[in-house]
Amino acid sequence: MKTIKTLFVLVAVVTLSAFTNAKTIGPNHGYHVGDFATDFKLENIDGTTVSLSNFKDAKGFIVVFTCNTCPYAVAYEDRVEALNKKYAKKGYPVIAIMPNNTNVKPGDNMEAMKRRAKAKGFTFPYLMDEGQKIYPQYGAKKTPHVYLLQKTKKGNQVKYIGAIDDNYKDASAVTTKYVENAVDALLEGREIKESNTRAIGCSIKV
Amino acid sequence: MKYLFCLCVLTILSCVSEPKPVVLEVYDFDGIENFLNKKDDKVYVVNFWATWCAPCVKELPYFEELNANYKNKNVEIILISLDFPQKYESKLKPFIQKHQIESKVIALDDVDSNSWIPKVSESWSGAIPATLIYNKDKRQFYEQSFNYSELETELKQFLK
């Protein structure tokens, strides 16, 4: 009896510590290519709530953590819209998520997001990461930061993490379109050549 | 005579109020790399920032304070601006002038960040502010904001 009790305690301790570890890993790590991404239920600029599970016909998603106030994010606004125009109809819609604390950056609050989306004519959902719970799970560090997901039977699998392309300054001088290359590869069943890239961006405001 | 006097006053005034022009060195990453790998006896504190980055601007005075307190102790501060080139004249230079930045400011203009970010540090996602402290023997990278005491604590690791 005593051994069973000890064993039970031991199992409890091990289980608990496993969970504690999982928790501490949280914000600084996030997803790697190959991991499965969480779904969410976030408020869109049109007042509806959006989840990845709403998109029954999608083959995957171009999830972009972005905002109104970061010059790099602003530099990419038109290119994010172009990605949605090109790939939503092919099954890979853009889902933009604004991760900043709006008390720190009032220019990123819901009203400002609505104004920006209207002014730029965004055709993709632009969601508020209310309570800042989603971006740490993904491991987003900055804006803009892209996570390309592919729908599989087991869930939405991360296929690419990083930058949109290799020239933030000048869209016409881009030599490698990282995200387009990755989505094209998925659409054609090819391997993604570059599945991790890096770019300068604004740290997410906590 | 009165006219001459006025002219003199004007000349003197304009001399006094004329601020020193800011000379900005601009490099691509090949040029910047020299500032990240010096092999002399100094400790280098290298901060990546931009005028549009609020947390960067907030922590800049701590780097200035560090510069004032340690420049005679073999420590050099280098502030690498990632401002967009079209903002050098309208934002960056006026900022340096207005805040009378004493530390060395240089600008990095290199769009291919995917190739150079890992050369600064493998651990850097690309978010700013970011800081590198190094000497010829060791280096430490920080993708975070600092206050003065945190910054000084980190620097002291290199001054032992």
Determine the structural domain holding residue A22 and report its residue range: 1-28
CB atoms A201 and B127 under 8 Å: yes
Whether residue A100 is found in the same domain as residue A36: yes
CB atoms B126 and A204 under 8 Å: no
Secondary element (H or E) of residue B160: none
ipTM for this prediction: 0.81
* CATH number, domain with residue A123: 3.40.30.10
CB atoms A166 and B114 under 8 Å: yes
Number of domains chain A is built from = 2
| Separation between Cα atoms, residue A143 and residue A100, nearest integer Å | 9
Whether residue A97 is found in the same domain as residue A130: yes
Contacts of B129 in chain A (CB under 8 A): 203
Whether residue A67 is found in the same domain as residue A154: yes
Contacts of A170 in chain B (CB under 8 A): 111
The torsion angles phi and psi of B133, rounded to 5 degrees, stand at -115, 130
Report yes or no: A91 and A83 within 8 Å, Cβ to Cβ: no
Whether residue A41 is found in the same domain as residue A132: yes
Closest CA to B114 of A51, A181, A112: A181
Contacts of A167 in chain B (CB under 8 A): 111-112
pLDDT exceeds 90 at position A135: yes
**What is the structure's pLDDT at A29?**
77
The torsion angles phi and psi of A108, rounded to 5 degrees, stand at -110, 15
* β-bridge mates for residue B98, sequence order: none
The torsion angles phi and psi of A12, rounded to 5 degrees, stand at -60, -45
Whether residue A98 is found in the same domain as residue A190: yes
* β-bridge mates for residue A127, sequence order: A44, A97
Tokens of B52: 């549009």
pLDDT exceeds 50 at position B157: yes
| Mean per-residue pLDDT of chain A | 90
Contacts of B112 in chain A (CB under 8 A): 166-167
Whether residue A9 is found in the same domain as residue A63: no
Whether residue A65 is found in the same domain as residue A8: no
* Whole-number Cα distances in Å, B158 to B33, B63, B65, B135, B153: 20, 16, 17, 7, 9
Contacts of A173 in chain B (CB under 8 A): 111
Q: Which of B112, B113, B127 sits opposite A141 (nearest CB)?
A: B127
**B118 shares contact with chain A (CB less than 8 Å):** yes
**What is the structure's pLDDT at A23?**
35
Candidates A203, A205, A206: best to mutate against B (most CBs of B within 10 A) is A203
**What is the structure's pLDDT at B2?**
59
No. of helices (H) and no. of strands (E), chain A: 5, 10
| Separation between Cα atoms, residue A156 and residue A27, nearest integer Å | 20
Whether residue A11 is found in the same domain as residue A65: no
Query: Among positive and negative, which fits the CA dihedral A205, A178, B141, B103?
Result: negative
Residue type, A202: C
Whether residue A68 is found in the same domain as residue A163: yes
**What is the structure's pLDDT at A17?**
42
Q: Render A73-84 in DSSP notation, one character per residue.
A: HHHHHHHHHHHH
Tens of pLDDT along A29-83? 799 999 999 999 999 999 999 999 999 999 999 999 999 999 999 999 999 999 9
Q: Which of A166, A178, A204 sits opposite B111 (nearest CB)?
A: A166
**What is the structure's pLDDT at A26?**
36
Whether residue A76 is found in the same domain as residue A20: no
For residue A53, what are the contacts with CB-CB under 8 A and spacing of at least 6?
A39
**What is the structure's pLDDT at B11?**
53
Q: Which of A70, A145, A198 sits opposite B114 (nearest CB)?
A: A198
Contacts of A169 in chain B (CB under 8 A): 84-85, 111
| Separation between Cα atoms, residue B87 and residue B106, nearest integer Å | 14
Q: Which of A142, A168, A170 sits opposite B127 (nearest CB)?
A: A142
Mean pLDDT throughout B135-153?
97
Whether residue A24 is found in the same domain as residue A37: no
Tens of pLDDT along A81-129? 999 999 999 999 999 999 999 999 999 999 999 999 999 999 999 999 9
Whether residue A18 is found in the same domain as residue A78: no
